[in-house]
Amino acid sequence: MANPEIPQKMPYVIECEPGTYAWCACGKSENQPYCDGSHGGTGMIPIVEKIEEKTTVAWCGCKHSKNGARCDGSHAQL
């Protein structure tokens, strides 16, 4: 799989509690924006991020961010 699927062309803005999150990089997860293991066979793996304190995160929804799991506005160019 050369390019990820695009589940949505806007970020998933979520208030996250402290913990470890696995962001779906392939776009196939049914649990967006988080990984559910659907990347099997794609050659892609999730990006794991540790959140230290409660915060609002804009997780990339288009899977094309140059800022890893965080939205950088790349969806506006798709």
In-domain check, residue 27: yes
Residue 1: which pLDDT band, with cuts at 50, 70 and 90?
low
Q: Give residue for tokens 């969806």.
A: 75
Separation of alpha carbons 53 and 74, rounded Å:
26
54: pLDDT strictly greater than 70: yes
Total domain count for the chain? 1
Query: Distance between CA 38 and CA 45 in Å, rounded?
Result: 10
Give every CB contact of residue 36 below 8 A, 6+ residues apart in sequence: 24, 29, 30
Residue 34 lies in a domain: yes
The full length of the chain comes to: 78
* Identity of the amino acid at 15: E
Average pLDDT, the chain: 96
Q: Model's pTM, two decimal places? A: 0.93
**Does 28 reside within a domain?**
yes
| pLDDT tens digits along 17-41 | 999 999 999 999 999 999 999 999 9
Q: Specify if 2 maps to a domain.
A: no
**Do the domain assignments include residue 59?**
yes
Range of the domain at 73: 12-77
Q: What's the start-to-end Cα distance of the chain, in Å?
A: 18
In this prediction, residue 2 has a pLDDT band, given cuts at 50, 70 and 90, of confident
Residue 67 belongs to some domain of the structure: yes
Report yes or no on 5 lying in a domain: no
